[in-house]
Amino acid sequence: MDEKTLAAIDRLLPQVEKPARYIGGEMNADIKERAKETAAFAFCFPDSYEVAMSHLGMKILYHILNKQPDMLCERVMMPWVDMSDLLKKEGIPLFSLESRTALYDFDVVGFTLQYEMSFTNVLEMLSLGGIPVLSAQRGEEMPIVIAGGPCAFNPEPLACFIDAFVMGDAEKAIVEVTRLIKRMRLENKPRKDILLALSQIEGCYVPSLYEVTYHEDGTLSSFKPTNDQAPSKIRKRLELDLEHLDYPDAIPVPFTEIVHDRVSLEIMRGCTRGCRFCQAGMLYRPVRERSPERLVELAQKLIKATGYEEMSLSSLSSGDYGQLAELIRELMLRFADKKVSLSLPSMRVDSLLKESLEQVREVKKSGLTLAPEAATQRLRDVINKGISEEDIRRSVSDAFQSGWSSVKLYFMNGLPTETEEDLIAYGDMARLVIDAYHQVPKGQRSPGLRISLSSSTFVPKAFTPFQWDAQDTLETIKHKQKILRDVLKIKGVSFNWSEPELSHLEACIARGDRRMGKVIYRAWQLGCKMDGWREFFKYDLWMQAFEDCHLDPAFYANRERAGDEILPWDFVDIGVTKKYLWLERERSLLGIVTPDCRNGCDGCGLTRFEGACVS
């Protein structure tokens, strides 16, 4: 940017709510000189600075890209509405934190797609950054726009906006993609040639190389490549050696408070429990662990480089980490004199918690979060949670005996086959926890019992056994939430629930096809953005967008799919097969529990990936 524009940015900062979101210059931020041969990558997070800076994936890829001598990576976040409005008013393009480079001036613009309700922010950031929102309208000089993350596994709702998707583990793929784009740019190759070359990289999907047709009833008729070189199936990238994958030993430390303001250690990747509602549990198979020695080494470097006094152990199911007690013991020993506390994420209630809890409380004791997901054994068997009421009782008892007095329980409402009896049982579960607390002698328990129940509405997701199931209608969701509010009017118990309309729209997008892109585009034109924030969510405008595009939201959210229907994401190979997912759905209807595959192969299909399974 020229000096005049840079000065204009400085004049805007005092006018916005939190200037620290836009100034950059944080400790450990990586600022590199850009030469002609340098591949410049803009890592875009389509949400606020506070959310973006809490995201571990961004920190990992930021570190990896900047470690390459021929690359640089700079961060770009979705500006808050006050800054967004000012940028438009002053005609200033969205810029990176490190060098205040306009978004359109990068070689690669990469978005991480963590949740569906951030999709309009992707469009808003492209527009603010001076990049045509529609992929087909981008000229030769424009950046190649890519996207990854969990929501990229059903890329179709964003197919008309994103040039290429990267599916799966990105540590090595992101370097390959960025280097290829820069090399072909230096060779003055046309955009179409670059996109075709990207499609040859494992895990890369280029939507413009495929065409889709539909039946009269709106279901998919066909999905096929338009170029012989484009693969008919996109196989996810899978990095099996987590131990030796690059991991940051220093991370940018924000000047302002963020959502998770601490060091995060990814102790393992993947989960073998097989919860039937859980998309991440299927997408990120198989389980891969880092050794306690490597994790302690990283923890020491990160604490030294950042000065943080808290760290968390990050994974889908940290209680399943094979050496959890040993790791916690060693971390507590190494950081005892520095008073660095350790926080545990949401835990399975059948994890062996007691020893770990007793060690963690020695420095700092926060609330304990458990995830039973359902209040009756029947429904827990349907979703393959694999836990009993006795597991729940033992877990909360262990917590109370270890000095905890605050417990948060996560549940889902609207799960397939759910009945009113399943909902009423929430009250029984709350009373079970209260009873477990009072079973601990007064002198041995901490005072001030606090129980919080949080219930999110079931959203059917791609690549899960429930991907064929309908979501409850809005009226049913609201009725069920009223039942829950009534049964949980218990002293000492608080209850939180998700916004029904938000969950409804999430289901529409999560199972959307390419036509959903028209709805997203129209909603953005109508003014929708920051949809994940309750104060900005405009459900009425989204419904208008559906109407304007002549599409019915019920077709996507409230319709049960047939077993032989072509699903919009069927061309993606995550390892777990569609046949296995259907089998799991049939087992769910019979209430049959599928054991953890660490105890023996369940035949999910991942053995096709060489070296992926050890059982």
Q: What is the per-residue pLDDT across 311-327, written as a single tens digit (0 to 9) for each?
A: 999 998 888 888 988 99
**Contact call for residues 581 and 369 (beta carbons, < 8 A):** no
Q: Could you give the CA distance from residue 78 to residue 128 in angstroms, rounded to a whole number?
A: 10
Give the N- to C-terminal CA distance of the chain in Å, as an integer: 55
Domains and their CATH numbers in the chain: 3-235 (3.40.50.280), 262-498+575-599 (3.80.30.20)
Largest interatomic CA distance in the chain: 75
Structure token pair of residue 417: 């086959």
Q: Could you give the CA distance from residue 336 to residue 327 in angstroms, rounded to a whole number?
A: 14
Q: What's the sign of the alpha-carbon dihedral 318, 324, 329, 330?
A: negative
DSSP string, 46-102: SS-HHHHTT-HHHHHHHHHHHHSTTEEEEEEEPPPHHHHHHHHHHTPPPB-TTT--B
Q: If we measure between CA atoms, which residue out of 94, 100, 98 comes closest to residue 123?
A: 94
Q: If we measure between CA atoms, which residue out of 31, 127, 114, 134 comes closest to residue 79?
A: 127
- Residue 280, SS3 per DSSP: helix
**Contact call for residues 270 and 278 (beta carbons, < 8 A):** no
**Contact call for residues 34 and 72 (beta carbons, < 8 A):** yes
DSSP string, 403-425: T--EEEEEEEES-TT--HHHHHH
Structure token pair of residue 64: 């990896």
Question: For residue 359, what pLDDT is reported?
Answer: 55
Residues lower than pLDDT 70 in the chain:
345-367, 614-615
Q: Which helix (H) or strand (E) holds 495?
A: strand 493-497
**Contact call for residues 495 and 485 (beta carbons, < 8 A):** yes
The CA angle 322-325-330, to the nearest 5 degrees, is 115
Q: Which residue in the block uniquely carries the two structure tokens 């892109």?
A: 517
Question: For residue 141, what pLDDT is reported?
Answer: 96
Query: Please, what's the b/e burial string for 87-96 (b: 16 or more CB within 10 A of its CB; e: otherwise)?
Result: beeeebbbbb
* pLDDT tens readout for residues 187-207: 999 999 999 999 999 999 999
Residue 531's contacts (CB-CB under 8 Å, 6 or more residues apart) are: 117, 118, 119, 120, 121, 502, 505, 537, 538, 542
Strand partners, 39: 71
Question: For residue 363, what pLDDT is reported?
Answer: 47
